[in-house]
């Protein structure tokens, strides 16, 4: 039973917005790209996992929670938590194609595509180890005494491992047998305690707010490329014309192109947006036009006339505050 469905990944959206507005030469570009690739690789494995569970019947009671965010002295996020009355299993999903190699010192995961392109990812083993440790603390603080295990689940059985991973790695098809093996009958908590644990895990979930993303990665305003993005060719710097915005690269015309760019501004910088900053970011010089665009963009206005500023509640905008 899935107690909670995976929510839209705010972190990934923020990283995408950030990466495309950093020049390739920026000292942070490679780092942000690795973060983005790692976040992207965690998405899309959930259906595969659900299929694996659907095809297998367990004779023990269990619950599954996807995308759980908890706080145990520090905040942590777990892709999937599988738990029974006798143990907890932390699963980190990785949905990546190609050949994978695990490197130590520093620990990272390198992936080579058929084309020869090599990408570096954060080592998922570190994530699992950290999550096991923090979840143990979280359980201990609430008086639950259960062993916590963990594994990295590679969603595609076509992934090739070039060396032996320094942590437990599995394909979804192996998971049911593995889970059945570590279940220990006779060492179970009673039904009431198990249900209490399920409830506490769900109720302790906190909505993770990665915004403003520039602050989290200590990236300055000056490092960020400005301009309205063309949805057709992804070029920045659409020009304002009567009908809306036109791309000088591909000629695409988009009436509301500035709206997504304004949302990006809030994802990147947060706080309050002034008319002046709006003009700088959209690449326009007409203050009245900026006012019109800001007023029509569903933002939260503060103050009057000249001193008017605008805010945005991103969590509500992305449907996270239900």
Can you give the binding site for Zn ion, defined by CB under 5 A? 230, 232-233, 235, 247, 249-250, 252
Edge-to-edge order in the sheet of strand 63-72: 63-72, 74-83, 88-94, 148-154, 169-170
Q: How buried is 222 (Cβ within 10 angstroms: 0-12 exposed, 13-18 middle, 19+ buried)?
A: exposed
Burial class (CB within 10 angstroms; exposed 0-12, middle 13-18, buried 19+) of 159: middle
User: In the complex, what is the shortest distance from the CB of residue 247 to Zn ion, in angstroms, rounded to a whole number?
Assistant: 3
What is the nearest approach in angstroms of Zn ion to the Cβ of residue 12?
Answer: 23
| Nearer to Zn ion among residue 193 and residue 232 (C-beta) | 232
What whole-number distance in Å separates Cα of residue 40 and Cα of residue 38?
Answer: 5
Closest approach, Cβ 257 to Zn ion, in A, equals: 10
CA dist., res. 250 & res. 253, Å (int): 9
CA angle centred on 77, ends 29 and 149, rounded to 5°: 120
How many CB atoms are closer than 10 A to CB 126?
Answer: 15
Closest CA to 273 of 255, 291, 257: 291
- Please, which residues have CB within 8 angstroms of residue 114's CB and are 6 or more apart in sequence? 98
Among candidates 306, 270, 311, 271, which has minimal Cα distance to 294? 311
Quote the CA–CA distance of 166 and 172 in Å, as a whole number: 19
Q: Which of 74, 68, 71 is nearest to 89 (CA)?
A: 68
Minimal distance in Å, beta carbon 245 to Zn ion? 10
**H-only helix segments in the chain:** 10-20, 29-41, 46-54, 124-141, 175-182, 191-203, 213-216, 257-268, 275-282, 287-295, 314-317
Least distance (Å) between residue 228 CB and Zn ion: 10
Query: Which one, 63 or 229, has the nearer CB to Zn ion?
Result: 229
What's the closest the beta carbon of residue 237 comes to Zn ion, in angstroms?
9
Of the pair 182, 233, the CB lying nearest Zn ion is at 233
Provide, rounded to whole angstroms, the least separation between the CB of residue 236 and Zn ion. 10
67 vs 264, beta carbon nearer Zn ion: 264
- CB closer to Zn ion out of 247 and 299: 247
| Cβ closest to Zn ion, residue 217 vs residue 252 | 252
Give the nearer residue to Zn ion in terms of CB position, either 55 or 233: 233
Quick one: 201 or 228, whose CB is closer to Zn ion? 228
- Closest contact distance (angstroms) between CB of 235 and Zn ion is 5
User: DSSP 3-state assignment of 290?
Assistant: helix
Give the CB-side neighbour count of residue 273, counting CA atoms within 13 A. 31
Under 8 Å between Cβ of 84 and 62: yes
* Tokens representing residue 186 in the block: 């006779």
Nearest distance, CB of residue 266 and Zn ion, angstroms? 23
Closer CB to Zn ion, residue 37 or residue 230? 230
């Amino acid at each position: 039973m899935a107690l909670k469905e995976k929510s839209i990944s705010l972190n990934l959206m923020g990283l995408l917005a950030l990466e495309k507005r950093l020049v390739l030469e920026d000292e942070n570009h490679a780092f942000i790209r690795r973060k983005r690739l790692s976040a992207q690789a965690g998405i899309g494995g959930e259906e595969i996992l659900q299929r694996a569970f659907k095809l297998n019947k367990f004779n023990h009671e269990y619950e599954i929670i996807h995308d759980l965010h908890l706080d145990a002295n520090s905040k942590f996020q777990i892709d999937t938590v599988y738990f029974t009355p006798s143990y907890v299993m932390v699963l980190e999903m990785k949905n990546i194609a190609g050949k994978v190699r695990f490197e130590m010192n520093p620990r990272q995961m390198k992936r080579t595509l058929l084309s020869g392109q090599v990408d570096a990812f954060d080592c998922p083993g570190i994530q699992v180890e950290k999550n096991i440790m923090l979840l143990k603390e979280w359980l201990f603080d609430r008086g639950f005494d259960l062993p916590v295990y963990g594994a990295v689940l590679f969603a595609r059985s076509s992934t090739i491992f070039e060396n032996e991973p320094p942590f437990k790695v599995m394909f979804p098809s192996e998971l049911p047998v593995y889970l059945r093996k570590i279940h220990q009958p006779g060492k179970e908590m009673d039904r009431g305690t198990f249900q209490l644990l399920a409830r506490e895990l769900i109720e302790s979930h906190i909505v993770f707010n990665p915004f403003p993303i520039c602050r989290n990665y200590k990236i300055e305003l000056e490092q960020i490329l400005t301009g309205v993005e063309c949805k057709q060719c992804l070029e920045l710097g659409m020009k304002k014309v009567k009908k809306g915005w036109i791309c000088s690269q591909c000629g695409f015309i988009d009436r509301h192109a500035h709206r997504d760019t304004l949302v990006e501004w809030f994802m990147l910088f947060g706080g309050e947006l002034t008319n002046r900053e709006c003009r700088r970011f959209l690449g326009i010089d007409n203050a009245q036009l900026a006012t019109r665009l800001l007023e029509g963009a569903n933002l939260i206005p503060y103050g009057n006339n000249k001193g008017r500023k605008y805010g945005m509640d991103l969590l509500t905008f992305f449907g996270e505050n239900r």
